[in-house]
Structure 1
Amino acid sequence: MRLLHTSDWHLGQSLHGQDRDYEHACFLRWLLGQLDKRRPDALLIAGDVFDTVNPTVKAQERLYDFIVQAHERLPALTIVMIAGNHDSGSRIELPGPLMRRLRTHALGRVMWLDDGVLDSERLLIGLPGANGEVQAWCLALPFLRPAEVTGAHLGDDYLQGIGQVHGALIAAAEAKRTPDQALIAISHAHMAGGSVSMDSERSLIIGSAEALPASLFGQSISYVALGHLHKPQKVNGETRIRYCGSPIPLSFSEIDYPHQILEVELQGAELLSVEPLLVPRAVGLLRLGPAPLATLLARIAELPEVDLLADALTQPWLEVRVVLDEPQPDLRQQLETALQGKAVRLVRIGAEYAGRQGQDEEDGLALLDLDQLTPQELFSRVWLDNYGTAVDAPTLEDFEQLLQEVHNEEAQP
């Protein structure tokens, strides 16, 4: 059996206010080509399909056009898609009856039966092989919000509730499988030890809860297709537990990531190989600096001129990071004047002062832009400004819980 594992598309995302639709269109066109070439039995999309719980019409069109085209090209292809923390689980599931006609299964929430037993059946999806017979069972684990895994039957412990979901679903899958069938998990979660891109990954840690342990996925699981972290990586060095990463760089901190999808080969329940397929970058990201203004102006002068025959949508996004000795009120004007006629698109200017560089790096204050701060960081800075002391841990936990409740409300239909 052959699977393709992808995640974190973030359809509808903007980069400092600039639309990324062209880049997403290029990626989805490339992915359709890989489906034609690789002929997988299943495509796994491990969450954060959209960038927000209320995606634009264009973003939704991108997704559903892709699903239709994928089915037209490979009628036997099974697609399994789960909601991530950026998605609305209800929205992901809404067109479910229609998508099932296209062999696409969209899971956004876990549900419990009246007796407090997990409704496992809806989360277990048979994956047919080339012969049409089920060769693997997919355990679909969308991002688990506190309201879904705590309550009267489950208690108030978030991590304990997550453990109950995993345990119940794995037990149900093991009871259903035959010895020659693989168990494949698809999950959107922050696993312990994962490398995080702070600029573009919303925190999943709630209160004092820790990232999830890899032990949630026992050895009976042949492969775990993870979403959430944008950098491709193994969990605890295990080949079978993988983040494939995002297909395009979602922030300037991801410039050097090897954006990819993963091709997974299994023979029965045995994992044979996991191979990366590198995604071509349709639009480059270019960062100049940090450096003094004079140095940056000289480097800008060396940038290529606009090619009038080239598509402007392919011009790189540019971030300029300036080190200043004193305030420069006309900084933006100087940079924009220098960039006139250059084949780049300026999306961000960051400034830091030479006397604070070392301290800024230690304190995490360099290039202070609101869109680069997590809500927790912003709350902590405002607290310090207002009260003159660092925020205490209980208050920060209360804020994080409130923030999660807001996210949950946003995710409701």
Structure 2
Amino acid sequence: MAVHFFHTSDWHLGQLFHNYSRHLEHEKFLTWLLQEIGDKQPHALLIAGDIFDIVNPSSASQKQLYQFLANAHDIAPHLQILMIAGNHDSGYRIEQVEPLLAKYNAKAVGIIQWTQDKKLNLDHLILPIYNSDHVIVAWCVALPFLRPAEITGFNEHTQDNQSAISYLHQTLIDEAKRRKTDEQALIVMSHAHMQGGQESDSERCIVIGHQDALSTDLFSEDVDYVALGHLHKPQKVGNEYIRYSGAPIPLSFSELNYKHQVLNVHIHPNKNISEKIQYEKLIIPRSIALHAIKGELQDVFKKLEQLPDEGALPIDEREFVDIEYYSHTPPPLNLRQQIEDALPKQRYRITRIVRKPVTRADTDDSSISKIDLAPPTPENLFEQIWESMGYQQDTQVKEDFLTLLHEAEEIQHKNTTSNEG
């Protein structure tokens, strides 16, 4: 018997992108996904964590998820939707609505549950996948993001994070192997940072047991497929069958060139290794374009003037523009206004305007120093103070600072405009 499922992750519903809503982009992705479900009719949809962007999601983003579940159930009544909590999710929150999820043939695993005698709740973490005839075709080990407080100190096997992680994987995979038949597939769905995985700027650092990433050795050769979430770049890790599906939309400009996708997977347990698993990458159409403009300030203005001008758009449909420039002289005080004037009206949204220090690589003049023709920017000063305090670079902290800086710039710009009026 074959099992057919979609693998997706890291939706980050409710994300604010430099204070701009992504609701429309997510809505278009979910509409596209419903079309693919209707066309291909998989047995299951696996969502490998980070369903929401924050642990306390807005009512609009929750409604977006539950409306999708209802629509998917209408299109494919046999479809099972299995999802796990990521590091951005509240595991308790996504499990609280279990009665609602059951109505749509959906199941959420948010936390590692233990019994009163301090054993794993196996039925909560090992889920059957059925075909349209309600025959079990696979077993899925569902491993949400492993928080130390939820996995350590329960028995002699969980005295520290590393031993607890090994114990969980071995125990659950061994039990799933015991339950399955030769005709049923074994799948592991996990939200984790695996060794060898390529990161982008938008992922938060995960540190478990003083290690940056987990080893793929946790998955035995008896596992047919590992559906991973957390890293936003679609990729395989170590083996063909260990894969990140990636995020459905770019969550930072470092993901500008990713081919965002959902993996369409068929597993035939009884076939030989070369024919056992079939993968199809379903490429997600990008609904809102991103433009990264970099270079000397004069060149930046030229690039801005070359951006397409195809008429005004509603605010939620406008394309994103991120600007990193360098200049040999101090920028004009009204730089932001000049940039906005250079852009086609009501067509684009500016995410950042960042001045970079001048380096020899930026200019042909060898007399220009690598150090400091540009005065320090707020970003430079923040990084210098952060490092002087002995902290390591943290992408999320930097992103939070840039968000606050952007808010301050917007307030200053509005005040300036109001005073000029």
Q: Are 2:358 and 1:354 equivalent residues in the alignment?
A: yes
Q: Are 2:184 and 1:181 equivalent residues in the alignment?
A: yes
Aligned residues of 2:15 and 2:21 also touching (Cα < 8 A): yes
Instruction: Show the counterpart of 1:339.
Output: 343
Instruction: Show the counterpart of 1:51.
Output: 53
Instruction: Show the counterpart of 1:403.
Output: none
Match of 1:353, SS state, is coil
Aligned residues of 2:14 and 2:22 also touching (Cα < 8 A): yes
Deviations 1:269-319 (A, max 9, x none): 653211110000000111111x111111122122222514x5553331110
1:151-230 alignment runs, 5 A limit: 151-153=153-155, 154-198=157-201, 200-206=202-208, 208-230=210-232
Across the aligned residues of Structure 1 and Structure 2, the Cα RMSD in angstroms comes to 2.8
Residue type matched to 1:258 in 2?
K
Aligned residues of 2:85 and 2:110 also touching (Cα < 8 A): yes
Q: Are 2:286 and 1:281 equivalent residues in the alignment?
A: yes
Deviates most, 220-229 or 122-131:
122-131
Q: Measure how far apart 1:221 and its partner are.
A: 0.9
Aligned residues of 1:109 and 1:148 also touching (Cα < 8 A): yes
Residue type matched to 1:218 in 2?
S
Instruction: Show the counterpart of 2:330.
Output: 327
Match of 2:356, SS state, is strand
Deviations 1:179-211 (A, max 9, x none): 21111111100000000002x101112462231
Residue type matched to 1:213 in 2?
S
Residue type matched to 2:291 in 1?
L
**Equivalents in 2 of 1:178, 1:46: separation in Å?**
25
Q: Measure how far apart 1:44 and its partner are.
A: 0.3
Q: Label 1:369 to 1:85 Cα distance change in 2 as closer, same or farther (>3 A).
A: farther
Q: Measure how far apart 1:332 and its partner are.
A: 1.7
Deviations 1:377-410 (A, max 9, x none): x7x8545435xxx45x9xx99xx9xxxxxxxxxx
Match of 1:138, SS state, is strand
Match of 2:33, SS state, is helix
Residue type matched to 2:124 in 1?
R
Match of 1:202, SS state, is coil
Match of 1:354, SS state, is coil
Instruction: Show the counterpart of 1:272.
Output: 277
Q: Measure how far apart 1:101 and its partner are.
A: 2.3
Percent identical residues: 41
Aligned residues of 1:297 and 1:335 also touching (Cα < 8 A): yes
**Equivalents in 1 of 2:223, 2:264: separation in Å?**
17
Aligned residues of 1:5 and 1:264 also touching (Cα < 8 A): yes
Unaligned runs of 5+ in 1: 401-413
Q: Measure how far apart 1:330 and its partner are.
A: 2.8
Residue type matched to 2:281 in 1?
P
**Equivalents in 2 of 1:313, 1:56: separation in Å?**
17
Deviates most, 239-248 or 314-323:
314-323
1:41-190 alignment runs, 5 A limit: 41-153=43-155, 154-190=157-193
Deviations 1:45-91 (A, max 9, x none): 00000000011111000000000110111111111010000000011
> What is the TM-score normalised by the length of structure 2?
0.84
Q: Measure how far apart 1:155 and its partner are.
A: 4.2
Instruction: Show the counterpart of 2:245.
Output: 244
Deviations 1:102-123 (A, max 9, x none): 1101010001223322111111
**Equivalents in 1 of 2:377, 2:87: separation in Å?**
25
Residue type matched to 1:143 in 2?
F
Aligned residues of 2:184 and 2:269 also touching (Cα < 8 A): yes
Aligned residues of 2:162 and 2:209 also touching (Cα < 8 A): no
Match of 2:118, SS state, is coil
**Equivalents in 2 of 1:361, 1:34: separation in Å?**
51
| Number of residue pairs the alignment of both structures matches | 379
Aligned residues of 1:120 and 1:168 also touching (Cα < 8 A): no
> What is the TM-score normalised by the length of structure 1?
0.85
Deviations 1:220-274 (A, max 9, x none): 11111100000000011x1111001000000000000000000000123653211
Aligned residues of 1:303 and 1:343 also touching (Cα < 8 A): no
